[in-house]
Structure 1
């Protein structure tokens, strides 16, 4: 599978100002007042990690600039997969299969919507295999929240369901899923779908 190298972006105060559409002094004031987390170079210049800028914007309800969103998508590393399914047997089977197919990838598992939300926020997986019918928070709601959270870097979401229902599939795509696959899953077709989605993303 294609693998994107993780490129963590660090911005100067001026770059923060340009991205956010404010003057340089405003960005410096955000930093000096402790609103925006930053560190100082040996030369005394402020530097801001992209994830800290995202957290600052999100916490203040500010719009995510398109340029920053593009940068976040470019720096996202697709080397982690999250499997979210309450069918433990299937979840474990997928974990074992994907671990063999992609030995350099980290695989995470969650078995309900609440657990998935915490795990995804903590680990920010690049690919999420998401069952629709989940206890806790259903797949539709979870998919929307994943795609709306800019800090997650827009992961690839493959939704799966025991119902081969065209309307269910269409709704998941409207909720932001990148693809839909009905159960029982054909594992070779699943990996083929994932690889096609990763290749599209890396172009």
Structure 2
């Protein structure tokens, strides 16, 4: 998602304290000592961006909640995992093996239907989803919209893959917030490069 499309979420010192599991004064002290980057509102209140909070927490080996990660613009904070959603079991497995071989530090999950995909997205919060639009019993376009509109999946980056020949297909998925698009048959080298650009 482009920076100007990102929701401008900012955290108060109290919210920072709650996220980090400390008292409010501790968060204020972090800010006053310039350990945690923040700015002041015209009313004198501190505000911290999701990226600055994530940087701060990462430096201190604190677990960063998915709710914070999903608001970050810096792709380095994407969970190092991806989910392949395709009902073609053979292709799904080939892609999974190829990506596991090329990305030893990224966890690869597989789903073969929409129900399985929903469960894994909710439980694992993958940073990236490779999504076949033509899934049985599911509207792939609607799924793209729901993934991008709800917080519960952690706002992963979606790569749509499809064999559909519908006119203006790429523009249609872009209207649902998906800017990564590939047609089948898949070029696995191009897919690897796309994933590299997403995570790096």
Q: TM-score, normalised by structure 1?
A: 0.63
TM-aligned CA deviation for residue 104 of structure 1: 1.5
Q: 1:114 aligns to what SS in structure 2?
A: helix
Aligned equivalents of 1:143, 1:100: Cα separation in 2? 27
Aligned equivalents of 1:157, 1:193: Cα separation in 2? 11
Q: Structure 1: which 5+ residue stretches go unaligned? A: 1-10, 18-27, 29-35, 55-67
- Equivalent residue, structure 1, for 2:97: 96
- Structure ranking higher in helix proportion: 1
Distance 1:165 1:37, change over 3 A: same
TM-aligned CA deviation for residue 70 of structure 1: 7.5
Aligned equivalents of 2:11, 2:91: Cα separation in 1? 46
Per-residue CA deviations over 1:116-156 (Å, capped at 9, x if unaligned) read: 11111111101110000112322211111111123434211
Q: 1:119 aligns to what SS in structure 2?
A: helix
- Equivalent residue, structure 1, for 2:45: none
Q: 1:157 aligns to what SS in structure 2?
A: strand
Q: How does 1:74-153 map to 2 (within 5 A)?
A: 74=74, 76-153=77-154
Q: 1:152 aligns to what SS in structure 2?
A: coil
Q: 1:122 aligns to what SS in structure 2?
A: helix
- Equivalent residue, structure 1, for 2:59: none
- Verify the 8 A CA contact 1:128 1:155 in the aligned structure 2: yes
- Verify the 8 A CA contact 2:161 2:181 in the aligned structure 1: yes
Distance 1:104 1:134, change over 3 A: same
Q: Structure 2: which 5+ residue stretches go unaligned? A: 1-9, 28-62
- Equivalent residue, structure 1, for 2:15: 16
Aligned equivalents of 2:197, 2:167: Cα separation in 1? 21
- Verify the 8 A CA contact 2:69 2:78 in the aligned structure 1: no
- Equivalent residue, structure 2, for 1:21: none
